[in-house]
A and B are shown apart, each in its own frame.
Chain A
Amino acid sequence: MQDTLELRKRQRRRCLDRLLWSIPAVLPLFLFTGENVAALNAIFVGQSIEGSGGILAEFHRNFIEGGRYMWLLDGLLLTLFMSAMAALIGMIIGLILSVIRVSYRAGVRIPILNALAGAYIAVIRGTPVMVQLLIIYFSIFGNLTDIPPVLVAGLAFGINSGGYMAEIFRAGIESIGVGQTEAGRSLGLSYGQTMRRIILPQAIRNVLPTMFNEFITLLKETSVAGFIAVDDLTRAGNNIRSKTWSNQPLYAVALIYLILVLGLTRLLSVLEKRMRRSDRRPMGTD
């Protein structure tokens, strides 16, 4: 019974997977040369590319002419770079803040640090990321004009993400029973050693799915980086649009984000499945 259920779930899953993975198949369209497009156009639209109408003609104008697909690729690279940088910074900041906060509640008290951490989290979560980005770029880094905007953006998104990651990690740490701390401390380990070797490894594992959702949010949030002159994916699409007066690039951009997010979601489900497998250790299965 269990097995059939499992099997059916797996089949449904495979169907869904196939659907999701068919999306990237659309991508090779970007590689179509003019001749191919013309041929396809003749078949599907019945118009030559010289004519003004026709989706494929428009496609050609948007992405092939002047190698404009490279704009999107360059933008995609910047988006990925910013997101990765921000995720890394966010995790480090989040980890530090959460440990400060949790330790304070557990009686390891450094009031000034705890107050700073609390203020940081309140300000970051209480103001729009867009405003934070503008302030960091124009005000804090305003005089340092030789720093590439993409680095400033990565830092700004990381600082922002740190506020959210802190709360994610805090929830993770608090989900670990007090007995784990007591067991560690009773062996003579210090608070820090117990935190590092016993609590955090379990906490991080528990919040992995939530963390992944934060990465996904982060990836999408970087789309406002264009406001500080980063030619990220979104802005690249918009740049093409302003050149060709066509809305197609916007859809292309949306599609690329969607593919990235679906990819991350899939990675997460694989991860979760693997975690579940290592958790499923029923008694006496030997």
Chain B
Amino acid sequence: MIEVIDLCKDFGDIRVLDGINMRIEDGEQVAIIGPSGSGKSTLLRCLNLLERPTSGQVIVDGIDITAPKTNINLIRRRMGMVFQSFNLFPHLSVKDNITLAPLQLKLATKAEAEERAAELLRRVGLLDKIDEFPQRLSGGQQQRVAIARSLAMRPEVMLFDEPTSALDPEMIREVLDVIRDLADEGMTMAIVTHEMYFARDVASRVIFLDQGQIAEEGSPEQVFKNPRGERTKAFLAQVLLH
């Protein structure tokens, strides 16, 4: 369970997040939507402290991760993150990309880690690419490997930061399908996305962020069909029209 209390984040003089309060319960799939510059990605990146909040708290299973004495590395092991630009390690094979962290952190033997890598690759449909290097893969394939790499740490939560925004249209689906499978299995996740239909279908809750604040929040039916706020209505009218 992740709890966010009065979270603020400034970049210089600009307040990007302005008093965010939210909870992500175990087993929930929370979609964070909103216009560009609304602070969606920054919020997500505050959840595993890739961005350090200016003020406020992020509490993961009762541990305040913003406290100076918290070992953030231990928390991050339990929170997988998938980036817009994949960020696979180009100097390592697909297999080594996936086994690097478990081996470095001594969470598995080489044999165990490789077995797990194969299993995860089978799951995302890329077992035949296990010895390939990232540059040889398409964007969609790279992103699926990136998901497998995160899953290798057996995370309790997955954070997706616009996982399909850098993909060619024909590759979006293969990545969304993998994420959908994870959601169906009950993985706790927060996903920042511009794929509104995906958010509607997969999320158990939708958070609409605007100008660094949560402007609206609720079930997908409620937010997408009967948005209450004017800003939500205007935004959805723009992105759902076509």
Chain A contacts to B: CB under 8 angstroms = 177, 179-180, 182-190, 193, 197-198, 201-202, 205, 279, 281, 283-286
Contacts and interface: CB of A to CB of B under 8 A. Distances in A.
B50 interface: yes
Nearest to A201: B91
B149 interface: yes
User: What 3 A-B pairs are tightest by C-beta distance, nearest first?
Assistant: A188-B77, A183-B87, A187-B101
Contacts of B104: 189, 193, 197
Given A188-B77, A193-B104, A202 B150 contact: no
Contacts of A189: 73, 100-101, 104-105
B74 A183 contact: no
A281 B89 contact: no
13 contacts: A180-B87, A183-B83, A186-B76, A187-B150, A188-B74, A188-B77, A188-B153, A198-B100, A202-B90, A202-B91, A283-B137, A285-B136, A286-B136
B73 A281 contact: no
Given A182-B50, A205-B91, 6 more contacts: A177-B87, A179-B85, A182-B87, A186-B81, A189-B105, A202-B91
Interface of B: 48, 50, 73-74, 76-77, 79-81, 83, 85, 87-91, 100-101, 104-105, 133, 135-138, 146, 149-150, 153
Given A186-B76, A198-B89, A283 B101 contact: no
A179 B146 CA distance: 12
Contacts of B153: 187-188
A284 B171 CA distance: 14
B138 A284 contact: yes
Given A188-B77, A281-B135, A283-B137, A197 B83 contact: no
A187 B91 contact: no
Contacts of B81: 182-183, 186
Nearest to B79: A186
B76 A180 contact: no
B138 A186 contact: no
A185 B135 contact: no
B100 A197 contact: yes
Contacts of B83: 179, 182-183
B138 A283 contact: yes
Nearest to A182: B50
A187 B149 CA distance: 9
Contact of A188 (B87, B105, B135): B105
A185 B71 CA distance: 12
A15 to B, nearest CB: 33
Nearest to A196: B104
B90 A187 contact: no
A187 B76 contact: yes
For A179, A182, A188, which residue has the most chain B Cβ atoms within 10 angstroms? Answer: A188
Contacts of B100: 187, 189, 197-198
A188 B138 CA distance: 26
B102 to A, nearest CB: 9
Nearest to B74: A188
A182 B82 CA distance: 10
A95 B137 CA distance: 32
Contact of A180 (B50, B89, B138, B150): B89
A266 B136 CA distance: 29
Contact of A185 (B50, B80, B136, B150): B50
A281 B133 contact: yes
A190 B74 CA distance: 9
Contacts of A180: 87, 89
